[in-house]
Structure 1
């Protein structure tokens, strides 16, 4: 047990260093700039046979969707570790990732609606299984943030952690929805040789890396804010005694 505790402590320090390292800060800046250059200077604006500048939003739409799933997976792992080991860091990690994941999921829905209006002439389509299941993911994690915001002590925070663990089941369901059911608009991209979106692989990969770097940077900032909030709360309690 002591070995596990020591290993987790080292992991916490490693994660803290990674999120605040120069690699993350410079990586966010440089990959973000390269992504912008590739999107507007290299990628084709023609998708599904339609030539429109708004099609370029697809690269960030897909990158945001991927990174929101990564963030919500972090919420799942952080919640699980908090329930098991009760470390304050894991609770901060889970909530920070949940906030950022919810933000990125919101941007995914917005950019997807803009792109969908151009390609499919529809802001929203209730018959599309990917859209509906992703909306469910969005609602579930909105609920997670509401539950967390209502917590007042460690016992309440465990309820939020349980929610974070159970709620994650919606993420893989949404991801595999286009393979489990017949999609209306969205089609499976990975492993699908007949995909017709005309996505440039280089631009997409760089955009995903850029948004992932942004996620790591925002995680570091949000966790530090959590630490400051805890410090202010502790000092306030001490001053009241």
Structure 2
């Protein structure tokens, strides 16, 4: 009976496989190829000076903040409700995402509410996704890693609880654990293939601008990354999100 139960459990896990699991072999090969031609080293956290557009975004953080916090958290969908492929990491429905752009698709109805932000992100080269990410009080995103080293993730903190020491992101790096509390107007640029987890152990919501961009690379890795992102654009992962967002607007 124990063996039967284990088989049933394994079968259930197989059914829940996401794009992350199904593309693992492909992504491992892609990552090795990308890093061979990468213009930035393989490390978890980068300086804001490593990408020239970051200063422009940071300099306008108060304008971006004003547009973001004008949108009530309750009006922003939970990531788990619109993206089944995010699986366990979006099980806490207090993680909310207000999408502006993703894999070449623009949410025009959302961008219209934040025109300054939309104009600013349009000037960012190699942009892949853009959203406002909101963590409601008590939200926890468990340890996870991203899809590929071909992407870098950027956070601009917009509204951080006063008790910011209890609202942080934790990275597993070769040097050990590193905990970074968000701070209004500050940025974090990182490689999300390093395991990381997030907490908001406060009584207030946390707002950030979350961007993903292609990692700077020499040719031919740039061309290969474009093809890979094109494939993700037409994957069920992205199309399911589009359908659910469209349904909300209907």
Same fold by TM-score, threshold 0.5 exceeded?
no
Q: Which has the higher contact order (CA 8 A, sep 6+)?
A: 1
Q: Which band: TM-score by shorter chain?
A: under 0.3
More helix by share: 1
More strand by share: 2
User: What TM-score, normalized by structure 2, do the two folds share?
Assistant: 0.23
Larger of the two Rg values belongs to structure = 1
User: What TM-score, normalized by structure 1, do the two folds share?
Assistant: 0.24
